[in-house]
């Protein structure tokens, strides 16, 4: 039997448990014999994760939920295999996530990025029950409040449990955020609202989908919000930007004529 390395009471993160990187963060939450997983990662690590859970003396029949925070391939490719190993668990996700996975969408999920030679196997899979903003998940005596925090993707979910926020791809310890990409359905104004919500909440700890767990810092979150606010007006982010002020300046210059002294 393996000792359980809880990061907080009732919470085990499988990368920390294994003392190695397995992929995205996979959170096991447990109480009164029941347990659930937030995200599962790539298919090639699922068997190792489930075997480790078994060695920690969790009953595989007592897995209540398999949750997808959103539909990115690095979070959900292993969901189908996990459901095979844990058939009693209910798969949960946002309605958009449900549709993308049912369709086996390869673009929005990042399974196919031809320009970079990325092509990852992605079988259609079923989200059996959808969850969204305002829903509550119950596990033993624990309650998780479901937040929809769009921006990285419309289907991004976060989960509050007491002073913990399982925060998905909203923000990482270095202040970076999940990819902003038009092909992915990213929305910068929505991202700013989600980060503002996290900033203004009274949670203490952020448990992200990638990288280390960290204490929430309003200063750090504000710095990230300020950066994304600038992104809204930068050509770097293409159609994810809301405008490009330089073109307005150019239009005025076209009327005035080119002046090398002012260029």
pLDDT of residue 165: 98
- Supply the mean pLDDT for the chain: 96
Is the pLDDT at 263 greater than 80, yes or no? no
What is the pTM assigned to this prediction?
Answer: 0.95
Pairing of the two strands 27-31 and 205-208: unpaired
Is residue 254 predicted with pLDDT exceeding 90?
A: no
- CA distance linking residue 122 with residue 73, whole number of Å: 7
- Give, as one character, the DSSP assignment of residue 66: E
Which of 136, 131, 143, 135 is closest to 31 using CA atoms? 143
User: What pLDDT shows up at residue 10?
Assistant: 98
Other CB atoms within 10 Å distance of the CB of residue 199? 17
Task: Place 258 in a pLDDT band, splitting at 50, 70 and 90.
Answer: confident
The closest of 56, 42, 119, 125 to 91, measured between CA atoms, is: 125
Q: Identify the H or E element spanning 251.
A: helix 245-256
> What pLDDT score does 102 carry?
96
pLDDT value of residue 59: 98
Measured between alpha carbons, how far is 151 from 226 in angstroms, rounded to an integer?
A: 15
Q: Per-residue pLDDT averaged across 203-229, rounded? A: 98
Q: Decide: residue 174, CB within 10 A, 0-12 exposed, 13-18 middle, 19+ buried.
A: exposed
Region 225-230 average pLDDT? 98
Q: Which pLDDT does position 259 carry in this prediction? A: 84
CA-angle at 148, arms to 147 and 153, nearest 5°: 145
The pLDDT score that the predictor gives to residue 145 is: 98
What Cα–Cα distance (Å) separates residue 206 from each residue in 39, 66, 83, 213? Answer: 16, 20, 27, 6
The 10s digit of each residue's pLDDT in 57-86 is: 999 999 999 999 999 999 999 999 999 999
pLDDT at position 6 over 90: yes
pLDDT attached to residue 81: 97
Q: What confidence tens digit (pLDDT) does each residue in 156-206 have? A: 999 999 999 999 999 999 999 999 999 889 999 999 999 999 999 999 999
Which pLDDT tens digit goes with each residue over 124-167? 999 999 999 999 999 999 999 999 999 999 999 999 999 999 99
Q: Are 78 and 22 in contact (CB under 8 A)?
A: no
CB atoms within 10 A of CB 125: 22
Distance separating alpha carbons of residues 235 and 238, to the nearest angstrom: 5
Q: Is the pLDDT of residue 239 over 90?
A: yes
């Amino acid at each position: 039997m393996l000792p359980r390395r809880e990061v907080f009471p009732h919470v085990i993160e499988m990368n920390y448990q294994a003392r190695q990187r397995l992929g995205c963060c996979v959170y096991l939450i447990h109480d009164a014999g029941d347990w659930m997983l937030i995200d599962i990662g790539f298919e090639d690590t699922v068997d190792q994760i489930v075997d480790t859970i078994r060695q920690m003396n969790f009953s595989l029949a007592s897995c209540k939920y398999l949750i997808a925070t959103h539909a990115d391939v690095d979070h959900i490719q292993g969901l189908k295999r996990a459901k095979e190993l844990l058939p009693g668990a209910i798969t949960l996700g946002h309605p958009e996530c449900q549709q993308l996975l049912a369709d086996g969408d390869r673009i929005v999920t990042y399974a196919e990025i031809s320009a970079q030679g990325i092509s990852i196997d992605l079988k259609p899979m079923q989200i059996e029950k959808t969850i969204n903003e305002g829903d509550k998940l119950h596990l033993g005596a624990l309650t998780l409040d479901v937040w929809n925090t769009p921006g990285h993707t419309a289907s991004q979910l976060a989960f509050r449990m007491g002073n913990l926020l399982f925060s998905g791809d909203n923000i990482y310890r270095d202040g970076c955020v999940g990819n902003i990409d038009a092909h992915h359905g990213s929305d910068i104004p929505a991202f700013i609202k989600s980060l503002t919500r996290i900033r203004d909440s009274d949670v203490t700890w952020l448990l992200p989908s990638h990288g280390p767990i960290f204490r929430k810092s309003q200063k750090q979150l504000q710095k990230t919000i300020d950066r994304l606010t600038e992104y809204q007006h930068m050509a770097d982010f293409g159609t994810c930007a809301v405008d490009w002020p330089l073109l307005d300046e150019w239009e005025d210059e076209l009327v005035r004529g080119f002046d090398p002294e002012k260029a």
